[in-house]
Amino acid sequence: MITLSGKGVYGGIVIGRLCFYKRENNEIPKYTVKNVENELIRFESTLKKAISDLKNLYKTALKEIDKESAAIFEIHGMMLEDEDFNNEIIDTIKHERINAEYAIFSASVKFSNMFESMDDSYMQARGADIRDISNRLISILLGKSSKDISLEQGDIICADDLTPSEAMSLDRGKVSAFVTSAGSASSHTAILAKSMGIPAVIGVGDDLMTLTDGAEAIVDGFSGKVYISPDAETSARMKDKRNADLQRKALLEEYKGLENITLDGKRIELFANIQCLQELPSVTSNDAGGIGLFRSEFLYMDRKDFPTEDEQYEVYKKVLSHMESKKVIIRTLDIGADKQADYFMLDKEENPALGLRAIRICLTRPDIFRPQLRALLRASVHGNLGIMFPMISSVSELKKTLTIVDDVKRELTAKGIPFCTATELGIMIETPAAAIISDILAPLVDFFSIGTNDLTQYTLALDRQNRLLDRFFEPHHEAVLRLIELTVNNAHAHGKWVGICGELGADVELTERFLRMGIDELSVSPSFILPLRDKIRKTNLQKEKGIRK
């Protein structure tokens, strides 16, 4: 038996077989070519294949979707015949003696930047098309290497690390646990595992990668241990632990339908954090009072191009309709740092967590931000929507954001498109700056939601992605708790409600403190709602206050 130790990020005992995640190589190679003529032929034949693929896609889309949606393939086909674009690639291959993949990538950056700097929003949107057709050409040149893995029911997915979109691309019905050699406990992959209710152990070290598919293993998401080829004693112990866990989970079922109220009568809302539509059944089955954080950036990930306004509208509409009159807070795009999508073509940054991410991208890319706002506002008529902006750190950023929202509302009104004028607008408090000036921000919004994952990272100067820092990570650091309290006081002083949507909200050791602060809502992974309700219903703020005196 081999025992690996890491950090358990979601409790549960899983007995299964290891299955290693195989990854597509997305790097664009760059090398000097000896035979330029051959490279030009490589490019020309790739171009022909891409054009013919697009013609076929157009025909299929005409049959299976509709003319409007099919048109994009026709447009992309025409763009691939554009002489300026193709000559740019051919010239680069000829003069720089560079490989076709890299010449396409360079042309793509040049042309998409050119389109995106234009004033006209239609022309700006063509930047995304350039990236799409370039990606298509590059994928053909690199050959298809599928990242699909054939999973069997109960497989334990192993990898060096998994990005959130990779984790999401897996068949949830079949994955029973995640184990990674790297990764940190507060990374988005860890959050996703919790949200999917999948036991996970991360950061077990490089020995994991020396193992092979099919090995028998037991994952203990509570202790962070992974046992490979477990001996009889360990198997028996783990089976007992698993049965106890299943019994505890069954007991929690009894909390469904009950109020989130302390013994002395203090109420709080318990909402769910989600990233995709597949999680809606678990929002309902765990009896969430609403959705406090829908991480909309996941709509943009694991795909080759931006989702259209209509695609987004359909998703938001489904979430809102599913939740009926219950509150649904959708956070606008929070891409960047560890949540990447290649087609955004973001520059590599030294410090991505301190870089161009979230609202900073939205404010510099109206061609991305405005369609999302239009989709959200259009969907607002289908339920009880709140829109929330991530990573706000200054009044001017917030004012710029709200000006864009007003402008989009005017545009919709002018076109006679209905939207709910009462849609609440809020911000995430996830930078220390925002917490400190929350008294100035509060009058400008309807609510605050405290993102403790980033607030902790930025307050303690601890990169949440860096596994080496886990031992320095103090989740209950007084500095973070004081910033939370300051934010709550400032929100309430201005009559605004305030919630927590970071992972700290699910930490039952802090529930009493949050209740005392007067937090109005805790938004957590669906699987944490019933344990939190249990904790709240057993808390008596009066009594515990008395004891402390």
501 binds, among Mg ion, ligand PEP, none (CB under 5 to 8 A by kind): ligand PEP
Closest approach of Mg ion to the CB of residue 430, in Å: 5
Closest approach of ligand PEP to the CB of residue 317, in Å: 23
Angle, helices 121-142/100-116, rounded to nearest 10 degrees: 170
Output the CA–CA distances (angstroms, integers) from residue 523 to 99, 389, 500, 507, 532, in the order listed.
Answer: 49, 16, 6, 11, 10
430 touches Mg ion (CB under 5 A): yes
**Where does this chain touch ligand PEP (CB under 6 A) — which range of 226-234, 308-316, 435-443, 449-457?**
449-457
Phi, psi of 200 (to 5 degrees): -145, 140
Angle, helices 36-64/83-96, rounded to nearest 10 degrees: 150
Among 292, 502, 526, 531, binds ligand PEP (CB under 6 A): 502
- Centroid of chain to Cα 184: 16
Q: Which of 168, 108, 111 is nearest to 139 (CA)?
A: 108
501 touches ligand PEP (CB under 6 A): yes
374 touches ligand PEP (CB under 6 A): no
Helices and strands counted in the chain (H then E) = 20, 16
426 touches ligand PEP (CB under 6 A): no
Question: Is 501 among the catalytic positions?
Answer: yes
Query: Total residues contacting Mg ion (rule CB under 5 A)?
Result: 3
- Centroid of chain to Cα 247: 31
DSSP structure class, residue 153:
T
Out of 19, 76, 188, 362, pick the active-site residue: 188
CB of 359 within 8 A of CB of 390? yes
Among 46, 99, 332, 453, binds ligand PEP (CB under 6 A): 453
505 binds, among ligand PEP, Mg ion, none (CB under 5 to 8 A by kind): none
Closest approach of ligand PEP to the CB of residue 486, in Å: 17
Closest approach of ligand PEP to the CB of residue 11, in Å: 20
In terms of CB distance, is 201 or 501 closer to ligand PEP?
A: 501
Among 221, 289, 386, 451, binds Mg ion (CB under 5 A): 451
164 touches Mg ion (CB under 5 A): no
534 binds, among Mg ion, ligand PEP, none (CB under 5 to 8 A by kind): none
Question: Is 158 among the catalytic positions?
Answer: no
Among 126, 295, 327, 357, binds ligand PEP (CB under 6 A): 295
429 touches ligand PEP (CB under 6 A): no
Amino acid code (one letter) for 514: F
CA within 13 Å, CB half, 523: 28
Closest approach of ligand PEP to the CB of residue 475, in Å: 12
In terms of CB distance, is 452 or 539 closer to ligand PEP?
A: 452
What DSSP assignment string belongs to 284-309? HHTT-SSEEEEEGGGGTSSSSSPPPH
**Where does this chain touch ligand PEP (CB under 6 A) — which range of 5-13, 240-248, 452-460, 477-485?**
452-460
CA dist., res. 26 & res. 444, Å (int): 42
Closest approach of ligand PEP to the CB of residue 293, in Å: 6
359 touches ligand PEP (CB under 6 A): no
Per residue, the 3-state secondary structure of 120-152, as one string, reads CHHHHHHHHHHHHHHHHHHHHHHCCCCCCCCCC
Closest approach of ligand PEP to the CB of residue 391, in Å: 8
424 binds, among ligand PEP, Mg ion, none (CB under 5 to 8 A by kind): none
Q: Which of 7, 50, 94 is nearest to 470 (CA)?
A: 7
In terms of CB distance, is 203 or 451 closer to Mg ion?
A: 451
Closest approach of Mg ion to the CB of residue 455, in Å: 8
- What burial letters (b/e) apply to 362-392, b meaning 16+ CB within 10 Å? beebbbbbbbbbbbbbbbbebbbbbbbbbbb
What DSSP assignment string belongs to 364-417? H-HHHHHHHHHHHHHHGGGSEEEEEESS--SHHHHHHHHHHHHHHHHHHHHTT-
Among 180, 187, 372, 452, binds ligand PEP (CB under 6 A): 452
Closest approach of ligand PEP to the CB of residue 337, in Å: 8
454 touches Mg ion (CB under 5 A): yes
Ramachandran sector of residue 333 (left: φ over 0; alpha: ψ -120 to 50; beta: rest): beta
Site for ligand PEP in 306-335 (CB under 6 A): 334
By the 10 Å C-beta count (0-12 exposed, 13-18 middle, 19+ buried), 142 is classed as middle
451 touches ligand PEP (CB under 6 A): yes
203 touches ligand PEP (CB under 6 A): no
Phi, psi of 246 (to 5 degrees): -65, -40
Residue 35 DSSP SS3 = coil
296 touches ligand PEP (CB under 6 A): no
CA dist., res. 167 & res. 234, Å (int): 29
In terms of CB distance, is 50 or 193 closer to ligand PEP?
A: 193
CA dist., res. 348 & res. 333, Å (int): 19
454 touches ligand PEP (CB under 6 A): yes
What DSSP assignment string belongs to 310-352? HHHHHHHHHHHHHHTTSEEEEE----BTTB--GGG-PPP-SSG
Out of 19, 158, 362, 501, pick the active-site residue: 501
In terms of CB distance, is 116 or 430 closer to ligand PEP?
A: 430
Footprint on this chain of Mg ion (rule: CB under 5 A): 430, 451, 454
Footprint on this chain of ligand PEP (rule: CB under 6 A): 191, 293, 295, 334, 430, 451-454, 501-502
Active site residues: 188, 501
